A and B are shown apart, each in its own frame.
Chain A
């Protein structure tokens, strides 16, 4: 019995190795393409912004107006700092709409407040209906040409909007732009501004710094050049209001409402005339607090993966459909086979390695070598992302921070990555079972919070 099982495992491993090899080559080949693309894009971007003066935008009556939509639910710890930062943003024609959601069931919209101190600040007090509902309410109150969707706990850098609005001025085909999200944990925040940037010592937060850098400076920047950006972080994105309204706003019944909207906007641009370009602006930065506990992080990653699965399922008719150009033929297949199914493939790889060891088909030294090889290239790519960051913005400028970043890049694959595989698989499982809950996020708040209370 054991012999026949061992034979079966051996057979599966021999036959499966070519699929695994092909997958490995395909994925890493694509990562390499993205890396080269992001390097080229960053070089071009840095040349364009060198000695750039943005006073034109600051003082022009032609600058597009922007409404910031900040949904706030369970954000008591960070809302004050975030609001201070929003009100001090260096953009001339700005309106801030905070959508405060309450648990009490009364009316969808209970009240509206406009600050007498800051006339550009509007607070919509409404019953909790989820982030998508809050953003839709904000959209209907917004009066600007562009709307900036963000999380209330996000700290946008003072010149973040000036930088993010540029693609809209450069092309009428741009429908949305996204900026870089960086991790604020460990850094010093005062009056809603990040004044001293440090790499966190907490392992979970530290590794997420590396993850975020990789996702934005490598992934999104690389896709920018290839014309395949379909993700704009829900924490910080700028949209043409008219296009969002024409598309029907955010969907309520998905946990991946930000990606869903962007993909819908992209889809509509193929189906009917109108803007459809999604641009990523690497020098426009917003800071966010990331979870420092495995419980909360697990919930977040599980939700993200459920969101991804849900969005790809909703738009499955675009997959391999030539009508949708690069998006249908390259981008969506990438998201399905590389992003969505990655945890499944990784689990299969790990399981076969364990089974191989159990049945004596592979020895320990081979298993260790296979494990290190499989994760080594990923680590090397992450290290190159750190180089991109250092060559361009070098925000982490002390030796301590550089050493810690490199350290977190090295240890990411030893436990953390396997945990994310588990969370993502859990997300997939929940998606298959039709779960659409968000799970609570807990905020610690920015440190230090030294500011008098705002009157609104």
Chain B
């Protein structure tokens, strides 16, 4: 049998572990109780000082000193909390005080840290405070995607030509997180990016073009049409999908013609996107081709085709009703599902 002495040792180790766990657990609880109280007091004081600064436009030296003396985490949290609610002169005043209490200097130092979590914190502070500092631009090429994404978030509020060029370059970022932030930043920059993005799409292909097409799809301007038509014939299915979505958004005769061709694409996602685009354009001349797509071998193509027919209106509904009596059970089933949808449903 297992030796009793061994069990004694194991038991002692377990009691020690349990005692340690209980000690850490309750001590941490006590520490939290004390620090949370202090944090709350500091936050209340900081909010008061910053609110006075924003409403009266002044802040006295004692208040600045008190803000400077605060623990760094609480100080950063207080400034970021107020900063998110401010724009224009309010934010200028906050930045001035943040510089006075060395918060911005610390953020810059954090941006230069060797540890990515600190660089992330630094970038978050500078982005949250909307500080136009070239140090963040250096983070566009940071090794960690979370830092690059944060830098891109900052870029949305600083759309200089250099930043836009860097953002467009970052559309090829291998990390999804960074790409999402870049696409979002470009969208937030607004019309200013339309021209450079159109030029970018004219000359790029593959994954960067796909990411660019997604941004262009949200803007849906006619100046993207040539690039969208070119990229709708790309080798990569993902690019063709994004191009089809953009064409559906642009909505010209050339788009409709190309989308109708894409209903015969080899990739089901492209066929579905083409059907969706035609529905979005309510392009009734394509109703018969969409009705053909009701017989597609892929479920989501049939669904998007049926939804497109529904979006077209009377001619589309006619085709859906015809499909109910057709020889293709799958087409009939899909037509029935879509015809059964409530009037306000978008699918």
Contact = CB atoms under 8 A, between A and B. Distances in A.
Given A373-B7, A383-B25, A169 B177 contact: yes
Contacts, number: 128
B29 A390 contact: yes
Interface centre among A14, A171, A383, by most B CB within 10 Å?
A: A383
A51 B342 contact: no
A387 B24 contact: yes
Interface of B: 1-2, 4, 7-8, 10-11, 14-15, 17-18, 21-22, 24-26, 28-29, 32-33, 36, 76-77, 80, 84, 117, 120-121, 124-125, 127-128, 145-146, 153, 175-177, 180-181, 183-184, 187, 214, 218, 299-300, 337, 340-342, 344-347
A122 B218 contact: no
B181 A21 contact: no
A429 to B, nearest CB: 30
B145 A170 contact: yes
Q: Is the interface of B mostly helix, strand, loop or mixed?
A: helix
Interface string A382-416: 01101100110010010100100010000000000
A353 to B, nearest CB: 11
A51 B123 CA distance: 11
B14 A377 contact: yes
16 contacts: A17-B1, A56-B153, A61-B187, A112-B342, A245-B300, A362-B1, A366-B1, A369-B8, A373-B10, A376-B10, A376-B11, A380-B17, A383-B21, A387-B21, A390-B28, A391-B28
A62 B184 contact: yes
A53 interface: yes
B124 A169 contact: no
A52 B28 contact: no
Contact of B29 (A48, A242, A399): A399
Q: How large is the interface on A (under 10, 10 to 19, 20 to 34, 35 or more residues)?
A: 35 or more
A245 B346 CA distance: 19
A245 to B, nearest CB: 7
A210 to B, nearest CB: 12
A113 interface: yes
Interface string A263-285: 00000000000000000000000
Contacts of B337: 140
A62 B180 contact: yes
Interface string A222-251: 000000000000000000001001000000
Contacts of B22: 383, 406
A170 B117 CA distance: 16
Given A60-B187, A62-B187, A383-B21, 11 more contacts: A47-B117, A48-B120, A169-B177, A171-B177, A369-B4, A380-B14, A383-B25, A386-B25, A387-B24, A391-B28, A402-B26
A387 B25 contact: yes
Nearest to B238: A172
Given A112-B342, A170-B176, A372 B11 contact: yes
